[in-house]
A and B are shown apart, each in its own frame.
Chain A
């Protein structure tokens, strides 16, 4: 608990000490990917379902938020809600197919991957709306109501830093609340032993679907934010690489924890950029960080720290 408080406190206080735009940018990317990683961990680390569907939701909501904002004049925040609803619909359709037929582990991963790929191909070839592989330029900015100056657009690194940090905190808080409730217990029961959970009266199908829908709905906000922050959307958002990246963040930070994915996201977005290298060598460094961290700490950074702390206490 103190660890969590320390982490969030540091993150909220950081811009007071750090003025470098470069560092703040890294943190902004960390927070957006952190939203994806935390929600991925809800489905993977806490419910035990290796989903590959996250990029689809991420990309679709990035496109949808932008297109709704442009074509129907909705403000950013109003446009994220239909996107989240779309994410829920997609998740329920895909999830109910997978869970109805009791697909597990790799089989579940491959079927969700297949659906994500089909959605990616659909987005890529729907030229009239998505502009195909060329992508779309996002010119708008999210706005907030600020006391004293009315509705102001979010501009500059510090404003973006706090916006994404708040979004990440809300996501982590919501995930934490879900996990603390009866739902979290059912998720854990399913993760530990699905057949046993079923015999004990847990509606396995319903809770898997619930976890999948909540995770994807929250992940959709990351898509909207990412598109608006980078100012550019292309079908690469929906690629398989995104799945791998998010999976790497969660495993590196520690699956089955809420802070782990955020730490993993920080390490994997931050470290390769903190060291100044050309692109190819940076990819080598990324791979090396991944391999050595997981070999030294097989349970991830936060998982290993927790185990170390509980051993010291006892």
Chain B
């Protein structure tokens, strides 16, 4: 029983960290540039399929991750230049452009790889044994990487000039520009970073689970839930929001019917939002 519960907690935390990385992207782009990028799940899908395609062509997995992130970031750069920058501070139009992009990317992936799920070979087989509990190594690695990335982002924004510039831009773009922040470049950087991160999330996802073109849609909804649970604008909140959602879904499905798996996270989300309407870490 402990094995089962602990295993589900770890599984939930990993899935939750994936939600968290999408949530981080949503929070960053919205909090800093005022753009709603609801299509982040698609950049995750791009990253995942790029990793898969590169690994199939013989690249070792750790090497394939880097170009995969770059490909996702490049797609993000193009969509920002072509579409997203026109939807700044217009939430619903950003949402609409995202819906359009989801439709386009998803069907493009379906044309390239068909709707049949694909799976990569095991990257890092074996499990770490702690007492009588087995923890698959790859899952631990993935979890560590995601947590490290989110903490690094947090530190990067809290401690550096770039972070201060970003916060200044979020508060008042014109004033930030007058203070010498190159705002268009900053906006591009945020977009590149958030889509690149989503790509990384996808690349890590590809090492654990099977891929299908519709995966992005599921993950962006969960990422949105995680971002809102943590509080929009809070970076660590997105990680915690994701992990809480993931763990509740995992543990809930041991004790309660699995068919309602998604409902457990949602029920907790609703309960938390009722008592903290701005999310766990959000400002009132």
Contacts from A to B (Cβ < 8 Å): 50, 97, 101-107, 110-111, 113-115, 117-118, 121, 124-125, 240-241, 244, 247-248, 251-252, 255, 279-284, 286-291, 294-295, 298
Contact = CB atoms under 8 A, between A and B. Distances in A.
A107 B228 contact: yes
Nearest to A245: B99
A288 B90 contact: no
18 contacts: A50-B92, A103-B273, A103-B277, A106-B224, A106-B232, A107-B278, A114-B266, A114-B269, A121-B259, A121-B260, A247-B96, A248-B96, A248-B100, A284-B107, A291-B100, A294-B93, A294-B96, A298-B90
B103 A290 contact: yes
Contacts of A247: 92, 95-96, 99
A283 B99 contact: no
Given A251-B96, A284-B107, A125 B260 contact: yes
A283 B107 contact: yes
Give the interface SS of chain B, mostly helix, strand, loop or mixed.
helix
B220 to A, nearest CB: 10
Given A286-B103, A287-B100, 7 more contacts: A114-B267, A114-B269, A121-B262, A247-B92, A248-B96, A248-B99, A291-B104
B103 A110 contact: no
A290 B99 contact: yes
Contacts of A241: 217
Contacts of A289: 100
B259 A284 contact: no
B267 A284 contact: no
A287 B79 CA distance: 13
A240 B221 contact: yes
The 9 closest A-B pairs by CB, nearest first: A287-B103, A290-B100, A283-B107, A287-B104, A114-B266, A291-B100, A287-B100, A280-B107, A125-B259
Interface string B83-117: 10011001111011101111110111011000000
Contacts, number: 118
A303 to B, nearest CB: 12
A247 B184 CA distance: 30
B212 interface: no
A113 B83 CA distance: 26
B263 A251 contact: no
B221 A294 contact: no
Interface centre among A118, A247, A282 (most CB of B within 10 A): A118
B180 interface: no
B96 A101 contact: no
A58 B123 CA distance: 45
A98 to B, nearest CB: 9
A290 B101 CA distance: 9
A251 B104 contact: no
Given A284-B104, A286-B103, A291 B263 contact: no
B259 A288 contact: no
B96 to A, nearest CB: 5
Contacts of A113: 221
B225 interface: yes
Contact of A97 (B91, B269, B274): B274
Contacts of A105: 91
Contact of A284 (B92, B103, B269, B273): B103
A251 B92 contact: yes
A291 B87 CA distance: 11
Contacts of A298: 86, 90, 93
Contacts of B131: none
A247 B95 CA distance: 9
Nearest to B265: A114
B270 interface: yes
B125 interface: no
Contact of A107 (B92, B102, B111, B277): B277
B93 A287 contact: no
Contacts of B269: 110-111, 114
A111 B273 contact: yes
Q: A113, A248, A282, A291: which has the most chain B beta carbons within 10 Å?
A: A291
A102 B274 CA distance: 8
Q: Which of A121, A252, A280 has the most CB of B within 10 A?
A: A280
B97 A290 contact: yes
B58 interface: no
A307 to B, nearest CB: 15
